Structure 1
Amino acid sequence: MTTFDLAPGLITTRAEVAAVYGGSIHSGGIVVANESKMVFIYSDPSAGEEHGYTFDGRAQDDQFGPLYHYTGAGRVGDQQMTDRNKSLRDHAASGRSVHLFVADGKVENKGETLQRYIGQVAVDPVLPVVERHGPDREGALRRLFVFRLRPAEGALLAWTDKDNLKPATQNTIVEVPTPSQTFVPAQTKAKPKKTEQHKTAETTATIAAGVRVVKRREGQLVTAFEAHLVHLGHTVKSFQLTVEGEPDVLLPDLYDETDHVLYEAKGLTTRPNVRMAIGQLADYRRHMPDPKTLRVAVLLPSEPSPDVEKMLAAENVTLVYQTADGFEGLPVPVA
């Protein structure tokens, strides 16, 4: 049997990898090799565009370091967190390492795709997956799972500029449902951030910046507030926005179509969090339908300090916060 080491920058093929480490060469972009306790990811952004996979590539670094986005398995209908998607999300709990390849040309005189090995990665333990929406191969809009991949502990990745996410070529706005629950694996050893809705109020994760407690109140707050609005008879949704020249999408937390109000939620009532929400709302509203009549509001888990309330009022941003009996601040006043 041919043997070789997986060195970042290596150019190889799926067949060569399978011959050494196991796994199928015909099972899509996520290959689970039980023999070697590995998961191989084969990312091909150009081919993915044919199936609505426009989200693959190296994203902008965040406060925790490098980040690669990879669209999960499933070409028709909403993607499901089962089978290969679940194997990737739960790789750390299963004791499997994850290895990222990116398509890099063709084998000379053959149709086989060459694969460039980026290196060993790990699914972000706190925000493993985000939801995006795009067309399937039959043209129907559906939910996609986009995995957030970090360098594994001690790994050096062979990035190149061509691996970066491609910027949007135009401004678009797509109506989408509010995010569904995407749960973090129960136990992870991966080392490197929050999903919109979570099972528990907080979690502890080991990330590049050290061990920290990650608050998960925001997702629970959005879930409770959405249920409250629906109970009042309101129609609730969200939007997926692309901005020309920008590589990623904008995803407002919640839009109340009935009252034409856009909400940005924060899990903490601190001044920095509220300032961030004000800035996000100012950014989002420029791209929203009928922005001149759009009302904006910050959704908080409790009443903030009096001066933070004054700051919101000065910026014409309504304050809505959770109480023991429901939510204070509704209905949002007409501007």
Structure 2
Amino acid sequence: MTDGPKFELGRYYTRAQLMATWGGSKQNGIAPSAKTKNVLVYTDPKIGKKHGYFDRLNLMDDGPLIEYTGAGQDKDHTLEKGSDNYALLHHREQGRALRLFQAAGRIEGKAEKLHKYLGEYAVDERKPWFDRVVSIEGVQRKTVVFRLRPVGQTADPAIDFVTLPPGMVYEQVHVASSLTAAKETSCRLVDLERNSGAPIIRKASAKISVQRREGELVDRFRAFIQSRGQRANRYELTIKGLNSVFLTDLFDTSANVLYEAKGRADRNSIRLAIGQLFDYQRHIDPKPAALAILLPEAPHDDLKSLLESVGIELVYEENGGFVGWPVDVA
């Protein structure tokens, strides 16, 4: 048994891909691998609630921690030896790492689900689990809820996975400055999740709501292109004499296309995106083959003409897909 190839933080995998490389099972939520030193743990909050699985990322108490419901759909949960719940609870003693995945839609036109890799977790040593009684269609049963702590860097879960006080929102803060001014202008490709700070909660505002929509749009687009064999990264830019660090939204490394995402399809958002793309392009070497704006919906025809006039491609979300993709880089 080996550790297997490295998992890619934030990447979207199918269950078949995960099984072929790291092992586990085809359907179980907790999938100990006989092939590698891993326990693959799957969560799908939207589906799980129907069956008493109330998984969440808890930021209200002593988080961040994941509250993950154990296995067993039709009866009380147990921790007996040989069960999937036992394998999760005793993963340290068995020399296994817990790998957490969250359901993230399906491949377009197919029934096959995608699963976003959120990172490595471990059972909380102080309080590894607690009991929760759930009632489904009038029938009560006891469930085991594991408390999982992050091990190292993790990717953001979908927003509906996060429990927050009323009137608050979840926001991931990215490193945006350095203590000293950059000595040289530079650019480098980094992972989309790289440079993420600790998640924080803030009072809801229109600005943060738009930021959330942009981030979720990038997430969906990333899953879309990765399911089609494309690789997604972002650029980290530093400018000589400045202490700011600039992060682009998404770079399709396979097609050499730089994207700027906006949470709205209005004129001001598109004007801002045009300026950002031209500014970023000046400092990226080699230059992208194409620049593109990513929107949650189609903009007004006049704005489409504006983008065409400056040579910037348009990609927007519609009916579960993305109109304008793939971008013409000829």
TM-score band w.r.t. shorter chain: 0.3 to 0.5
User: Structure 1 length as normaliser, TM-score?
Assistant: 0.45
